[in-house]
Structure 1
Amino acid sequence: MIKAALFDLDGTLLDRDESVKQFIDEQYNRFAKLKNFVSKEKYVKRFIELDHRGYVWKDKVYQQIVYEFSLPEPSWEDLLTDYINEFKNSCVPFPHLIEMLENLKSKNYKLGIISNGFGQFQIDNIKALGIKEYFDMILISEWEGIKKPDPRIFKRALEHLQVSPYESIFVGDHPENDVKAAQDVGMKGIWKRDAHWEDVEADYIVNELSEIPFIIEKMNSACVT
């Protein structure tokens, strides 16, 4: 019987691709002097390439941008500070996020987030989405000292929620760090479909967050019968 639903953040609850596009467009506008050295189109395109969907931290990204476009100003430190302070204002949720969480909470499921990343930065983004209060537990890799796909972070989350792996699902967009890692500790791994991956092996595959409550009901009905 499923009692808990755990989620990845970026690419699962937060539409990071759209959030990045919105943020970097606005960052270019905030730093007016950028237009003297690089077009907005080139700046946005190069940031997205170097960011590698969030897997490259932004100090490296901005150092490379300053170097490639020979920017005398702003400095990479100024751009990085702007990213840390302002990204939360560009957070875009996936459709049906609040609706799904309301549904699950109304049925008394325990909810958690396991996210790789920097602690305060990710918490700021969760707050910006307006979802922090829905979750009974939030683990962020910087603060935990371990990150997905390390099984210890999944086990730690389950201990916090006081549920077994077999009573839990994990929903994420990354085939290895989310789906397989959760399955390896005994959880059901649900893949939120992402165009960057193909042929992902998961217990369930969803296109929309609104599908999650129905999948849990289906699993629990199967247990009863």
Structure 2
Amino acid sequence: MIKAVIFDLDGTLLDRDGTVKKFIEDQYKRLNNDLGHIPKSEYIKRFIELDNRGYVWKDKVYQQLVEEFDISAITWEELLQDYICRFKNSCITFPNLENMLGELRSGNIALGIISNGKGQFQMENIEALGIRNFFDVILISEWEGIKKPDPGIFKRAMYQLKVLPDECIYVGDHPENDVKAAQNAGMQSIWKKDFHWNDVDADIIINDLAEVPLIIKNLGRQIMKSS
């Protein structure tokens, strides 16, 4: 029986692609006096390329932007600080997020998040989405000293949730860091489809977060029938 569901954050609960685009458009607008010599579309496009879907920390991104676009009116450190302080204001959820979490909660399912990234930064994003209070456990790699795909961080989450691997299911968008890593920790995995990858070897595949509660109920029925 499934007693807990653990989620990835970026690309699973947080629409990171949409959030990044919204943030960088806002940054360009707010700092136009410093960035206005760069065509808006070029600044946005290059930031997104260098960001590499969040896998490159923004100190490197802004250093490169300052060099490539000959930005002199503002430093890369100031641009980075602007990102750290204001990114949360642009956070966008995927559809049906709160309803899905509420439905799981009403079914007495424990909830967790495992996210790679900077601790305070990711926690502020979770709070900006308005979902902090749904979760029993939140593990962020910087604070834990361990990161996905290491199975240790999954085992730590299960230990804190007081569940066994066969009582827990993991939902994420990345084939290796989420799907394969969760399976390596003994858990079933749900892949939330992402157009960047194909043929992901997940136990279950979904298009929408709204599908998760029904999946949990169906898994429970299957176990009852087989017992």
- Shorter-chain TM range is over 0.9
C-alpha displacement of 1:185: 1.2
1:112-123, aligned counterparts within 5 Å? Answer: 112-123=112-123
C-alpha displacement of 1:36: 3.6
Q: Which amino acid aligns with 2:166?
A: Y
Q: In 2, Cα distance between the equivalents of 1:55 and 1:35?
A: 24
Aligned partner of 2:34 in structure 1 is: 34
C-alpha displacement of 1:51: 0.1
Contact 1:148 1:181 in 2 (8 A): yes
In structure 2, the gaps of 5 or more residues are none
| Percent pairwise identity | 63
Aligned partner of 2:94 in structure 1 is: 94
Contact 2:59 2:77 in 1 (8 A): yes
Aligned partner of 1:167 in structure 2 is: 167
Q: In 2, Cα distance between the equivalents of 1:19 and 1:34?
A: 22
1:59-138, aligned counterparts within 5 Å? Answer: 59-138=59-138
Q: Secondary structure at the match of 1:146?
A: coil
1:4-43, aligned counterparts within 5 Å? Answer: 4-43=4-43
Q: Secondary structure at the match of 1:191?
A: strand
Q: Which amino acid aligns with 2:145?
A: G
Q: In 2, Cα distance between the equivalents of 1:193 and 1:142?
A: 26
Contact 2:35 2:71 in 1 (8 A): no
Matched length: 225
Q: In 2, Cα distance between the equivalents of 1:115 and 1:126?
A: 10
C-alpha displacement of 1:186: 1.0
Contact 1:33 1:74 in 2 (8 A): no
Q: In 1, Cα distance between the equivalents of 2:47 and 2:34?
A: 13
Q: Secondary structure at the match of 2:20?
A: helix
* RMSD of aligned alpha carbons: 0.6
Q: Which amino acid aligns with 2:210?
A: S
C-alpha displacement of 1:201: 0.6
Q: Which amino acid aligns with 2:189?
A: G
Q: Which amino acid aligns with 1:5?
A: V
What is the TM-score when the length of structure 2 is the normalising length? 0.98
Aligned partner of 2:196 in structure 1 is: 196
Corresponding position: 1:177 with 2:177: yes
Contact 1:15 1:93 in 2 (8 A): yes
Contact 2:113 2:137 in 1 (8 A): yes
Q: Which amino acid aligns with 1:109?
A: I
Q: Which amino acid aligns with 2:59?
A: D
Aligned partner of 2:158 in structure 1 is: 158
Contact 1:111 1:135 in 2 (8 A): yes
Q: Which amino acid aligns with 2:69?
A: F
Q: In 2, Cα distance between the equivalents of 1:36 and 1:168?
A: 50
Q: Secondary structure at the match of 1:13?
A: coil
Aligned partner of 1:2 in structure 2 is: 2
Write out the 4+ residue segments of structure 1 that deviate beyond 3 Å after TM superposition.
Answer: none
C-alpha displacement of 1:198: 0.4
Aligned partner of 1:48 in structure 2 is: 48
Aligned partner of 2:209 in structure 1 is: 209
Q: In 2, Cα distance between the equivalents of 1:49 and 1:190?
A: 28
Q: Which amino acid aligns with 1:137?
A: V
C-alpha displacement of 1:109: 0.2
Q: Which amino acid aligns with 2:87?
A: F
C-alpha displacement of 1:45: 0.4
C-alpha displacement of 1:9: 0.1
Cα offsets for 1:58-114 (capped at 9, x unmatched): 000000000000111211001000000000000000000000000000011000000
Q: In 2, Cα distance between the equivalents of 1:203 and 1:26?
A: 39
